[in-house]
């Protein structure tokens, strides 16, 4: 709630809880008492409550259990479907390509390949060359 205090347009807390029901269950807990996945949800919620035009997520799925990754991917999909612009930097290729409309593969600080996510998924040679999958 503190993150939204100075926001010109802010989301109602109930909207955040709709997106992340687990946070509503844990609302009496301190942030440091939350699991890694719950802390990621809280970090995303802090950004969203300010109703940003664009949100940057840097490796939001790193080190999380697959079930938590699934829930976060679902929440990101809902945000994108609602018109939220998301820039996602992620090494979890499956999760990233599930969400992305457009993908960029960066190798040694340079864009090695770019295009629609569906095109990159369909090019196993590109995936093997740059990502080893």
Q: What is the pLDDT along the chain (133 residues), one digit of tens a residue?
A: 666 556 677 777 888 888 888 888 888 888 888 888 888 888 888 888 888 889 999 998 888 888 888 888 888 898 888 888 999 998 888 888 888 999 998 888 899 888 998 988 888 888 788 777 5
pTM: 0.75
Contact present, 49 and 3 (Cβ < 8 Å): yes
51: left (phi > 0), else alpha (psi -120 to 50), else beta? left
Q: Residue 118: enclosing H or E segment and its boundaries? A: helix 117-121
């Amino acid at each position: 709630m503190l993150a939204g205090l100075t926001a010109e347009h802010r989301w109602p807390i109930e909207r955040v809880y709709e997106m992340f029901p687990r946070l509503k269950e844990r609302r009496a807990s301190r942030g440091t008492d939350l699991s890694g996945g719950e802390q990621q949800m809280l970090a995303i919620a802090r950004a969203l409550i300010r109703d940003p035009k664009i949100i940057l997520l840097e490796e939001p799925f790193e080190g999380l259990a697959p079930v938590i990754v699934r829930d976060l991917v679902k929440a990101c999909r809902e945000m994108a479907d609602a018109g939220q612009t998301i820039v996602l930097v992620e090494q979890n290729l499956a999760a990233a390509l599930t969400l992305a409309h457009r993908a960029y593969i960066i190798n040694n600080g340079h864009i090695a390949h770019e295009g629609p996510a569906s095109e990159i998924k369909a090019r196993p040679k590109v995936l093997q060359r740059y990502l080893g999958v």
